Amino acid sequence: MSSQRKKAARLDNSEILAAAGHDLRQPMHSLNLVLGALAGRAEDSETAALVNSAQISADGVTSVLETLLSIAAMDAADAAPEISEFDVQELLQYLREQFAQRAANKGLQLRVVPCTLRIKSDRVLLQRILDALISNAIRHTESGHILLGCRRTKGALRIGVLDQGPGLSEDMAARFFTVNGPDGANGQDGAFSKTSWRGYALGLSIAQYICAALGHDMTVLSREGKGAAIWLKVALAETRNESIATTISAPPHAPEKSDAAIVIVEDDPDILLATTQFLTDWGYRVCGGRTAEAAIQDIEANGGGACPDLVLSDFNLTDGQTALDAIAELNRHFDSKIPAIIITGDPSAPGIAEARELNYEILNKPLRAAKLRTLVRYALAENSQTP
């Protein structure tokens, strides 16, 4: 085959990742939810240990899949970052709630140092960077603790993820520092040997890629066998929030146990069952069905007919319906605008942009149970504080 024909037949890397992601998102999402439900039902230490081991393995696969798909989505969209000002403490608290249990599953402690400052960045992309770095640290650290903290510098804030893992060799650490250094140099045209994709390298490469899009500097300090410290340099916001200092120690969130009513609209029976089980185990009153109509029938029969506090809906439903259709039907039926979280296996699907414009929280599959738990708590807390 000629080189021209080979080139014509070759899929772009982002297209390969997108195609693979479509097939991998659903089974990984289902696996994570089933393991989340099993974790709360293990009745003996041996079973609990087996479930915990399976969760650690699934978390590792999910982390890599999430970050690789994020890069594919960025390449495909070729969109500019959405820069805004926000309190860094909100992001730190979110990350603590998302990763604390996952670290504990490996016998690690995640320490998060509060910060009262506001920063300027794309919140979603910055969160993806820190997701990748913290996931990386947990995956490769076998004992000790992981620290997430901030240091103020002139006109900027340095956000660091420090671990006690295997670290990087001096040569590897130098390569990442060169790629992300202040001079913007791209050593060896950004190419890394196959042996570079070991240990921390994949997570760092993903972080570096997003940092480049945001214009944030990333510094890697590491010694082999001594752990690593990765620092992101983010611009400080021009405005300050003086009130946040009084809420750092106790950020607003829903109680650990709540009798809030949640309705699930999900056409996959396995996911519907697993989601219902662990939400029930967390103390929520749960109804649901394959469609909004089926969910309403379940609410009438088993939920006392009361308006739910939160809707949790898959985006693509049966008969060409979407989460937007289901939410609208539920809102009409209860004559109320119910807070909603939408979960999708296809972030580029028609209608997702409209859902974002309506300010619905959009979560991409595969989704860890811990992350869903955090967002459910925050959504319910925000709703309870709305006049």
DSSP string, 48-69: HHHHHHHHHHHHHHHHHHHHHH
Architecture of domain 84-246: 2-Layer Sandwich (3.30)
- At 11 the pLDDT is 47
User: Chain-wide mean pLDDT for the chain?
Assistant: 78
Residue 77 clears pLDDT 70, i.e. is over it? no
**Could you tell me which residues are beta bridge partners of residue 222?**
228
Q: Which amino acid is at 245?
A: A
* Rounded mean pLDDT, 231-248: 66
Least confident of 69-73, 178-182, 383-387: 178-182
Strands of 174-241, DSSP E: 217-222, 228-236
User: Where in the chain is CATH 3.30.565.10?
Assistant: 84-246
- The CATH code of the domain at 12-77 is 1.10.287
Q: How confident is the model at residue 17 (pLDDT cuts 50, 70, 90)?
A: low
Instruction: Report pLDDT digits (tens) over 82-134.
Output: 889 999 998 998 888 888 888 888 899 999 999 989 999 988 889 888 988 99
Residues 202-221 as b/e (b if ≥16 CB within 10 A, e otherwise) read: bbbbbbbbbbbebebbbbbb
CA 341 – CA 135 distance, rounded (Å) = 23
Residues 6+ apart with CB under 8 A from 208: 176, 179, 180, 218
CA 151 – CA 130 distance, rounded (Å) = 15
Q: Which amino acid is at 127?
A: Q
Residues 6+ apart with CB under 8 A from 168: 176, 199, 200, 201, 220, 222, 223, 224, 228
Q: Which residue has the tokens 């390969």?
A: 16
Question: Which helix H or strand E contains 4, and what residues bound it?
Answer: helix 3-9
CA 293 – CA 288 distance, rounded (Å) = 9
User: Where in the chain is CATH 3.40.50.2300?
Assistant: 261-385
Please say whether the beta carbons of 96 and 111 come within 8 A. Answer: no
| Residue 325 Cα distances to 38, 141, 294, 319, 330, angstroms | 32, 44, 13, 11, 9
pTM score: 0.59
CATH class of 261-385: alpha beta
User: Where in the chain is CATH 1.10.287?
Assistant: 12-77
